[in-house]
Amino acid sequence: GAGVSQSPSNKVTEKGKDVELRCDPISGHTALYWYRQSLGQGLEFLIYFQGNSAPDKSGLPSDRFSAERTGGSVSTLTIQRTQQEDSAVYLCASSLVGDSNQPQHFGDGTRLSIL
Amino acid sequence: RKEVEQDPGPFNVPEGATVAFNCTYSNSASQSFFWYRQDCRKEPKLLMSVYSSGNEDGRFTAQLNRASQYISLLIRDSKLSDSATYLCVARRTGNQFYFGTGTSLTVIP
């Protein structure tokens, strides 16, 4: 099935390195969301893309975090100069727009570990 | 105040029990509502949408009270496999989703 696809599944890197996480949403879903979830915690909203509109970046925790969505489909979340507190699962979700009864669909997430 | 609030639990119930979770939302502009289930170290998965008239899916019943701004989920005849965290979600116009922090359920043999 063509669900939300995220890569890599796991990423281990050293503190101070940059990382790039990828999300491929469900075909036809123009809304794309990034969340972060630390162990035992709830979802933390990071950023939201909707079509060609300016993204809602209100959840990005610092200027080390940025995201792009090229061509209205695939998105990449970049974390520069990673810190240990960046360790978490990064979840991407997509949804249809135009029908408020549509839910979000999540990818499997990228488990990021900063050493 | 958080947009969506849930009792975090944990709820520990015996197999076969009925358990209910409540959730409140703060913004009356919220248009649609959902319950998601999240297993340990997995992504959230849609359990069911919540309709104004209430809806049922097997052992699961969801209800919405717009006047009081709360949503509920009832699980009847609990199974071991129901053990998970249940997330309450509100969707507003503009396609923004608001998640509660989740209610933990453990069904005990």
What pLDDT digit, counting tens, does each position of A74-101 carry?
A: 999 999 999 999 999 999 999 988 777 8
- Rounded mean pLDDT of A39-53? 91
CB distance A95–B96 less than 8 Å? no
CB distance B46–A103 less than 8 Å? yes
- Per-residue pLDDT of B32-89, as tens digits, reads 999 999 999 899 999 999 998 899 999 999 999 999 999 999 999 999 999 999 999 9
pLDDT higher than threshold 60 for residue B94: yes
- B-chain CB neighbours of A95 within 8 Å are 95, 97
CB atoms inside a 10 Å sphere around CB B84: 21
CA distance B42 to B24: 25
**Residue A43, φ and ψ in degrees, nearest 5:** -75, 135
- A-chain CB neighbours of B99 within 8 Å are 42-43, 45
A94 in Cβ contact with A33 (< 8 Å): yes
Helix-, strand-, coil-residue percentages of chain B, each rounded to 5: 5, 55, 40
Nearest in space to A78 (alpha carbons), one of A17, A22, A20, A8: A20
pLDDT higher than threshold 80 for residue A111: yes
Strand partners, B3: none
What's at B96, amino acid-wise?
Q
What is the pLDDT at residue A70? Answer: 83
CB distance A109–B93 less than 8 Å? no
Structure tokens at B71: 């949503």
DSSP state of B7: -
